Structures are given as C-alpha cells and as structure tokens.
Amino acid sequence: MQRVTFAPRWVPHVRHWHKYSSAQLPVGKRFYFQPSPGTWGDVAGNMEEFHGALRRARLEVMRDHARRGDFSRWVAEVLQDHTLALAFRLTERRLCDAESNSAAEAARRELLAAIESRYGSPGT
C-alpha cells in the first residue's frame, strides 16, 4: 500500500456564476421575497435570479428581510457559502441601521457587489 499526499491548491477555490445560475434549486430551497405578510414577490431559484430580484426589491422589503437575517441565513443554509453569508450578515446590520434611503441603497450595492465578487458578474 502506498500513501498519497496531495499538494495544497495552487489557486484558491472560485465559485462559478454559471454553475449556480443554470441549476434551479428545489421549490422549498428557493428564496421568496415577501413584500408584506402573506404575499410573495420575486422568487429566486438560483444566485443569478437572487441578484436580479435584489436589484428590483423595494427598500422596505429588503429591510424586513435584513432584520430577520433572511439573506445571510439562506446563503449559509441553502448554498453553504459561509464566506458570502458573513459578508451578507454585516451588510444586513448596516441596512437595518440605515436611516436614509441613500444609506439603504448603499447597502443594496454592497450586497450586489459581494455576490459579484464571489461569483462574478451575471452573464459572464
């Protein structure tokens, strides 16, 4: 029997946008934007759809999801991307504390930038 030792990666692991944008998550694992209690807005079945829905979401809807930690919880539990979940958690706090619409829009841009930094830009 021969022991095999693998060398560490030469390049860091990169998550690829196309892998997560092409496959639909099962219905129970999708992200449901909830504009008000008992109603549903956009549904994201993958990261590309989530990115688009996040761009379109009303600020009040984003604040409600941020207060509950929905964005970071979904990314951590469903996508198992704990690095992105941590970035989302920090931005969710800023979004909750945002007293102006411009501060909330800045938080939205942070969420979108975190996705693009981690997975690349949509369509690439």
Is residue 114 within 8 A of residue 7, CB to CB? The reply is no
What is this structure's pTM?
0.80
Backbone phi, psi, residue 31, to 5°: -95, 125
Interval 33-89: pLDDT, tens: 988 777 778 999 999 999 999 999 999 999 999 999 999 999 999 999 999 999 999
* Per-residue model confidence (pLDDT) at position 78: 92
- For helices 82-97 and 59-68, give the axis angle rounded to 10 degrees: 120
